[in-house]
Amino acid sequence: MSEVASGFQVDGERWAPAGPLTMDSVATVLAASTKAALPASGVIDLERIEVVDSAGVALLLAWKRRAEAERKPLAFAHLPPSLDSLAQLYGVEELLVAEPI
């Protein structure tokens, strides 16, 4: 797996962002992800996410919109409980469906 940008790793099969997904980091992760092909497996692994805020939710929704525009499936593995709580709060939990592990 190679690191495309700080906190964003890709290997072709999966994306694996790491660290915080907050207002301070999301712009960098989004910029790095636009340069990478969507993961071939359609899975983004969130296991290494440490902290998340509403900007992190917005990032995941942006990835879902991109996948829809490219007509590719996209699911999230290891959805952190804090991210799941925020998604429920904003009423978008059905858009951030976690992949079974």
For 44-88, what is each residue's pLDDT tens digit? 999 999 999 999 999 999 999 999 999 999 999 999 999 889 988
101, part of any domain:
no
Position 27 in a domain: yes
Report residue 5's pLDDT band, with 50, 70 and 90 as the boundaries: low
Determine, yes or no, domain membership for 86: yes
Range(s) of the domain holding residue 38: 2-96
We report the CATH number of the domain holding residue 26 as 3.30.750.24
| Mean pLDDT, range 33-50, rounded to an integer | 92
> How far is Cα 27 from Cα 4, in angstroms, rounded to an integer?
14
- pLDDT at res. 13: 85
Q: Region 25-48: what's the mean pLDDT?
A: 92
**Lookup result for tokens 């592990």:** 101
Strand, helix or coil at 3?
strand
In the chain, DSSP assigns E strands to 2-5, 8-10, 14-17, 19-21, 43-45, 49-52, 75-77
Number of domains in the chain: 1
